[in-house]
Copies of this chain bind each other. A is one copy, B any other.
Amino acid sequence: MGTASELIMYDYPTLLREHHLKATPQRTAILQVMAHEGHISIEMIYEKIKGLFPSLSLATIYKNMIAMQEQGIVKELKIAGFKNRYEIQKQPHHHMVCQKCGSIVDVEFDVAQALEGVSKSHGFELKQIDLSISGICDKCR
């Protein structure tokens, strides 16, 4: 059995309420699909759960992604060559993207480490590194 702290990660209604969002069935389903599929697009989320909610609107998913991003529950991933993907926010980590199949694997490592080592350990042929750091520039502070 898992501990309470492990299980609480999957109690999405509570997670939503803690972020001042109502725990609707649609929202909970979106989070469950994200938890199950990992890094997923808007369209894929829609396809996965419209069976459960025959009247589901695409706008509902867009609106929820914005709301949940604002609350830090989900994160938007802009990947070169692919449509935006979304994932449930967790520990800071990076991604390894296959340019062919689009699969995305989480990789956890300190940026100070060598990236070649990380990719090599996954049997991954490293072709491109995209890194951008963001914050507030000198002029804007």
Known A-B contacts A80-B78, A98-B140; the reply to A125 vs B135 at CB < 8 A is: yes
A96 pairs with B131, CB closer than 8 A:
no
Nearest CB of chain B from residue A100's CB, rounded to whole Å: 4
> A103 to chain B: which residues have CB within 8 Å?
137, 139
Q: CA separation between A131 and B93, bound complex, in Å?
A: 9
Q: Find residues 124-141 in chain A having any chain B CB closer than 8 Å to their own CB.
A: 124-141
B130 pairs with A96, CB closer than 8 A:
no
A7 at the interface (CB under 8 A from B): no
List 6 additional contacts besides A95-B132, A111-B129, A112-B113; criterion CB under 8 Å. A96-B135, A105-B137, A111-B131, A122-B138, A123-B137, A130-B134
